[in-house]
Chain A
Amino acid sequence: MTSIYTLDPRDSAVASTAALALRPASLDGKTLGLLSNNKPHSEDLLRMVASIIGERYSLAGTVEYNKGGHQWPADSSALEDLASRCDVMIHATAE
């Protein structure tokens, strides 16, 4: 019997990988970034989470950024700016 051969439709390219950032042992003294996707109430949700974290840790402060819409990635320049100003970031969506 003769075999038949067919091709794989999937992407065979090896995806690039990135290691997770090192986690701080404590949030005491850290600056917390809050990245909103501009959906209704997303900033409210982020502030609520920041408030709960603030009850448990002595945060140095918070930095809020709204990326302007949920359909597009944040500008790379904005992400670089946040990375330079914050120790940890929270990104959230809401409706």
Chain B
Amino acid sequence: MQIEQWEFKDWEAALEHYFREGLTDGLPVVPPTPERVQAMLDYCGLATDDILGTEGIRHKQFPAGKVAVSAVMAGCLPEHFPVVAAAVSAVCDRSYNFHASSTSTNGIANLVLVSGPYASRIGMNHGVNAFGNGNRANAVIGRAINLLKANFYGSVSQEMDKSTLGHSGKYSFCFAEDLETSPWPSLAEAKGFRPGSSVVTMVAANAPLQLETHGDRDPEGFLTAAAHTMLGFGPRISEVVLVISQELMAYIAASGWSRAQVAEFLHEKTLRTAGEWDDWRRMDRLPPDADRDELMGCVSGPDRITVVPAGGDAGEFMALITSWGSSRSVTREITVPT
């Protein structure tokens, strides 16, 4: 496949062309020269036509060359491309439902969550301002997926992307797990990958909701606060990600709680009867013959709650991130070039 090439008299003309054609997210892009795109492919040993994934609903294939064009436009360096490539493979899993989540009025962003040593190798941020600005790797990897979604997949804002409100993660939503201070084995290991592996987990993610729980050092206390916040999301949503910052993780470590225990505690604390959810108007109205005493959790089980240590070393904060509709998070190993 030959990627169509455009000729310009200077960089400013090139940049304005991408704006004029609606090929940016509203911010300037790095002009994707053939040399920059080739460097991206060469770093991973990929050819232009290699297919990184086939989306599960429309069966659209993602050739490495086109993915690399979006990665260059987002500002990626070649060493960022293994993460982008793994992320594309993940969203192509049918269970992620990339097509519907990219078009829905819900307005989700594609969260790129990286676990493993490759994150620190490419300088990703897992600490202060983990979800925020100021780190190139976080900013450009997340942005690459969103540019690809719009420019290649066709989910253009206000056209195929019908988000009612959207959120700022649609520019970029990407962070790494804190493996420096975490008492737990990595999320990669928790998901069954071998120790030392690096993985990317993709989540069709609503905007993060931050909780502040200063003064409560007992995990039962601050996790109860998190569980009660989850009640507002309603019953049987697909998945929840709970991000816990360092001070609270230190209390969890001191109490000896495992990652699985945290998820089980949260799930148990959100179990309510169908009648209660109905009374709170957090679900479609129950039919008259429904069992109002049936217990329902915010999610169907603790395996639908992903707990991730990340964030700064000061402040007792957590964040809850819910996933879209019936979409499942998908994890793929990052192929690290040797």
Which of chain A's residues have a CB closer than 8 A to the CB of B97? Answer: 71-72
B interface: dominant SS: mixed
Which of chain A's residues have a CB closer than 8 A to the CB of B60? Answer: 11
A73 in contact with B57 (CB, 8 Å): yes
Please tell me the number of chain A residues within 8 Å of chain B, measured between CB atoms: 17
Which of chain B's residues have a CB closer than 8 A to the CB of A40? Answer: 284
- Alpha-carbon separation in the docked complex, A8 to B151 (Å): 9
- Alpha-carbon separation in the docked complex, A81 to B151 (Å): 36
Of B11, B23, B100, B284, the residue contacting A9 (CB under 8 A) is B23
B33 in contact with A10 (CB, 8 Å): no
If A3-B7, A3-B8, A71-B97 touch, does A9 touch B326 (CB 8 Å cutoff)? no
If A7-B37, A9-B23 touch, does A71 touch B325 (CB 8 Å cutoff)? yes
Within 8 A of B (CB), among A47-92: 69, 71-73
Residues in chain A within 8 A of chain B (CB atoms): 1, 3-13, 40, 69, 71-73
Of A1, A4, A73, the residue contacting B33 (CB under 8 A) is A4
A4 in contact with B57 (CB, 8 Å): no
Instruction: Using CB atoms, name the residue of chain A closest to B150.
Output: A9
- Alpha-carbon separation in the docked complex, A10 to B100 (Å): 20
A9 in contact with B9 (CB, 8 Å): no
Q: Does B195 contact A (CB under 8 A)?
A: no
Counting chain B CB atoms within 10 Å of each CB, the highest count among A4, A6, A10, A69 belongs to A6
Instruction: Using CB atoms, name the residue of chain A closest to B32.
Output: A7
A5 in contact with B57 (CB, 8 Å): no
A5 in contact with B6 (CB, 8 Å): yes
Within 8 A of A (CB), among B6-49: 6-11, 14, 17-18, 23, 31-34, 37
Tell me the number of A-to-B contacts counted with CB atoms below 8 Å.
Answer: 76
Which of chain A's residues have a CB closer than 8 A to the CB of B314? Answer: none
- Alpha-carbon separation in the docked complex, A9 to B37 (Å): 11
Residues in chain B within 8 A of chain A (CB atoms): 1, 3-11, 14, 17-18, 23, 31-34, 37, 57, 60-61, 66, 69-70, 73, 97, 100, 104, 147-148, 151-154, 284, 325-326
B14 in contact with A71 (CB, 8 Å): no
B7 in contact with A4 (CB, 8 Å): yes
A11 in contact with B11 (CB, 8 Å): no
- Alpha-carbon separation in the docked complex, A15 to B259 (Å): 46
A8 in contact with B69 (CB, 8 Å): yes
Of A4, A10, A69, the residue contacting B151 (CB under 8 A) is A10
Of B11, B17, B37, B152, the residue contacting A10 (CB under 8 A) is B152
Which of chain A's residues have a CB closer than 8 A to the CB of B284? Answer: 40
Which of chain B's residues have a CB closer than 8 A to the CB of A73? Answer: 57
A9 in contact with B70 (CB, 8 Å): yes
B8 in contact with A9 (CB, 8 Å): no
- Alpha-carbon separation in the docked complex, A13 to B51 (Å): 14
B75 to chain A, nearest CB (A): 14
A4 in contact with B3 (CB, 8 Å): no
Instruction: Using CB atoms, name the residue of chain B closest to A40.
Output: B284
A5 in contact with B34 (CB, 8 Å): yes
A3 in contact with B9 (CB, 8 Å): yes
Which of chain B's residues have a CB closer than 8 A to the CB of A6? Answer: 5-6, 8, 14, 17-18, 31-33
Which of chain B's residues have a CB closer than 8 A to the CB of A1? Answer: 9-10
- Alpha-carbon separation in the docked complex, A13 to B58 (Å): 13
A72 to chain B, nearest CB (A): 7
17 contacts between A and B (CB under 8 A): A4-B8, A4-B9, A5-B7, A6-B5, A6-B17, A6-B33, A7-B32, A7-B33, A7-B37, A8-B3, A8-B4, A9-B147, A9-B152, A11-B152, A11-B154, A12-B3, A71-B326
